[in-house]
Amino acid sequence: MKQVKTETIDNLEGLIGTGETFRFRCHDGLACYNRCCRNLNLFLSPYDVLRLKQGLGLSAGDFIDRYTDAVLRDGKALPELLLRMNDNEEATCIFLSEAGCTAYAHRPDTCRTFPCEHGIYYNADGAKERVLFLRPPSFCEGIHDPRELTPEAWQKDQNAENHNAMNELWGEVEALFSGNPWGAEGPQGQRAKMAFMAAYNVDDFREFIFGSSFLKRCKIKNDLKMKLRRDDVAVMKFGFEWIRVFLFGLPSKTIKMK
């Protein structure tokens, strides 16, 4: 998700403006079919990890170990997860088979949105708007299909509503990391490890909530406590809140100190 500045919005390549449509349909009869599932720098959001690990029946930790590489990019305070590509000549995606994507029902948001990209635009009043850019690779034949789509229709077609909503929530939390929140401890320190777990590893974070002294020190409502025992999305949202409160000292209606 890109943050888009007001003064640059009109000059950005591929922007699909309000009320505009784009043409696209992807299907297995095209010569380019699956060609785009290769040699990618595909960063996974926390919600991508959650959906993939659930779909594959793995713990978040096992999914992360088996299918991702953690990287710390320049200027970033928190490591991110890259979906692993196969070690073959074409660097095919680890989920790509001859028949297509083996993780299709759980595929990441980037794959759902492709050949578009999301952006968040803050208008002159500071209000947030989601924008979409059409940026297909040169070999993409799907853009010659006559089907016309609005950004909303494309999101529905790809069943991406939950991904988009969760990624927006994460975008707000991730923006808090833009300074250096770790001080001398650096990104290898204990606080950074906790933040990474709260964001990306719902299973370990649930263990932290119920298996550490956390609930002795903090008060949360009983109905939320029950939800956290069985609902991964609730744990992820709680993890985002934990980051806001314990790393950035922001007020919370959900977590109170005892």
Other beta carbons within 10 angstroms of residue 254's beta carbon come to: 15
Least distance from C-beta 140 to ligand SF4, angstroms? 3
Peptide bond just before 115 cis, omega within 30 deg: yes
Q: Which residues bind ligand SF4 (CB under 6 A)?
A: 26, 30, 32-37, 40, 93, 95-96, 101, 103, 107-108, 111, 114-115, 136, 139-142
Q: Are 204 and 197 in contact (CB under 8 A)?
A: yes
Least distance from C-beta 19 to ligand SF4, angstroms? 24
Least distance from C-beta 58 to ligand SF4, angstroms? 15
Q: Of 101 and 234, which CB lies nearer to ligand SF4 in the complex structure?
A: 101
Q: Of 129 and 148, which CB lies nearer to ligand SF4 in the complex structure?
A: 148
Residue type, 108: P
Q: Of 139 and 248, which CB lies nearer to ligand SF4 in the complex structure?
A: 139
- CA nearest neighbour of 53 among 112, 103, 1: 103
Least distance from C-beta 94 to ligand SF4, angstroms? 7
Element (H, E) at 112: helix 109-113
Q: Of 25 and 227, which CB lies nearer to ligand SF4 in the complex structure?
A: 25
- The span from the CA of 245 to the CA of 212, in Å, is 18
